[in-house]
Copies of this chain bind each other. A is one copy, B any other.
Amino acid sequence: MSEPVLIDATADTVGYTFGGRKPIATLTPGVPVRVRTWDCFAGKVRTVDDLPSQVCQFPYLNPVTGPFYVDGARPGDTLAVHLISLTPASPIGFSCTFPHFGALTGTHTTAMLHPALPERVWQYTIDHGASIVRYTARGSAYTVDLPLAPMLGTVGVAPAAAEVRASIVCGAHGGNLDTPLLQAGTTLYLPVSEPGALLALGDGHARQGDGELCGVAVEVPMDVTLAVEIISDVTTAWPRLETDTRIMSIGVARPLEDAYRAAHADLVHLVTDLTGLDELDAYQLLSQAGRAHVGNVVDTDYTIAAAIDKHLLDGAQPYRGAHRRLRALTLERP
């Protein structure tokens, strides 16, 4: 296999919406491609003195590279997006508090009369060899190393109903899901609502805690290698994930219990489809064997992923085995 083509992130190839923009390139199912993404600050935070509320301008936050026209994708299909590799494209990453954004502060909707928490930027150093991300406190001398765990915060397609959504929004179309589960080796399933699906991605994180507590992960530009596949005439209600060992449904909603409910109801239906269990039996199995992963509790809607091990599902192959085929692209690489 030859090295995949690289699509760089430039002013011409990034944007700030899902839908509403013309494709920048075409993807061929089964053929890996490399995509560079900018960090959520569009690269404007370069030191701990660059306060995002000053150097960034709404709505030019959370740029996504794309959209990509996926050859053959039609409304009513499902798009499988497999992340072959994720490599932070910088030796440093940034995080911050941002005024009235995050889980432990009043926000636009959880409106309070408090003034904003102080805005502060943290710089992380990334050591690829040691696979660590170094946290350095700002208010005192304190450093600690955390595991490097690259993920993409934002992967999505054009939404249904002719909608256009800001790239900072999450929904059934994917978007800013902000779940640490979206790592290399994972396949994301999204519903196709427009011809070509119009895939876009960005918001790389060197790592992120569950819930993205303060609203900002360790933000980095990212080198992404991915491949896609189309599952024709199969619809997908909520974003789903698959790894070698697990399948997952992502609920996107507020309040957070609705994200939990949507994810689990969707997974009940998937388990039922895959195993022939009736709904109550699938509900029961998930009650004892299901895992719930909090994605974000900070964005426009919250995300929870419901997960179950595939070995409990009798050799299940959702989406006609798409994950296995896409995963083989990695394994066969030199």
* CB of A139 closer than 8 Å to a CB of B: yes
Find out whether the CB atom of B261 lies under 8 angstroms from the CB atom of A103.
yes
The residue from B133, B139, B207 contacting A278, defined by CB atoms under 8 A apart: B139
Which of chain B's residues have a CB closer than 8 A to the CB of A294? 260, 292, 294, 304
CA distance A141 to B83 in the complex (A): 36
Q: Are B111 and A257 in contact, with the CB atoms below 8 A?
A: no
Number of copies: 4
* A256 contact set on B, CB distance < 8 A: 255-257, 260
A286 close to chain B: CB less than 8 A: yes
Q: Within 8 Å of chain B (Cβ to Cβ): is A185?
A: no
A283-B215 Cα distance, complex, nearest whole Å: 11
Q: How many residues of A contact B (CB 8 A)?
A: 93
Complex Cα–Cα for A135 and B95 (A): 44
A214 to chain B: which residues have CB within 8 Å? 283-284, 287
Give the residue name and chain of the B residue nearest to A264 (CB).
B213
B135 and A288 within 8 A (CB): yes
- Cβ of A105 under 8 Å from chain B: yes
Given contact pairs A161-B166, A287-B216, A280 touches B120 in the complex (Cβ within 8 A) = yes
Q: Does A290 contact B (CB under 8 A)?
A: yes
A residues touching B (Cβ–Cβ < 8 Å)?
A: 16-17, 19-20, 58-59, 95, 97, 103-106, 108-115, 117-118, 120, 122, 124, 133, 135, 137-140, 142, 144, 146, 160-166, 169, 207-218, 237, 251, 253-262, 264-266, 268, 275-281, 283-292, 294, 297, 302, 304, 312, 314
Q: Give 11 new A-B contacts, CB below 8 A, not counting A97-B284, A112-B261, A135-B285.
A: A17-B163, A58-B161, A97-B280, A106-B114, A111-B261, A138-B281, A139-B278, A142-B276, A146-B312, A255-B255, A261-B297
